[in-house]
Amino acid sequence: MVLAGRLEPRTGGIVIAEGEREEIEAAVASDPFVVHGAATAEITEFHRTR
């Protein structure tokens, strides 16, 4: 994980992670909030410009 924070308005949060997609998918799948249905996650890839 590179950084994380809440959205404004407080409708959720964001995590910026760096690594192989498979590793990030595994980390998301094992997150306790996701496992217990308290949160959902969407992985969006992007290419930074700087």
Domain that holds residue 7: 1-50
Residue recorded with tokens 């959720």: 12
8 A C-beta contact, residue 16 and residue 5: no
Task: Write out pLDDT tens, residues 1-50.
Answer: 789 999 999 999 999 999 999 999 999 999 999 999 999 999 999 998 98
Number of domains observed in the structure of the chain: 1
**What is the pLDDT, as a whole number, of residue 48?**
87
**What is the pLDDT, as a whole number, of residue 22?**
96
**What is the pLDDT, as a whole number, of residue 50?**
84
**What is the pLDDT, as a whole number, of residue 30?**
96
Q: Cα torsion for 29, 25, 11, 32, to the nearest 10°?
A: 20
Tokens of residue 1, six digits: 């994980």
Query: What are all long-range contacts of 46-49, with beta carbons under 8 Å and residues at least 24 apart?
Result: none
**What is the pLDDT, as a whole number, of residue 1?**
75
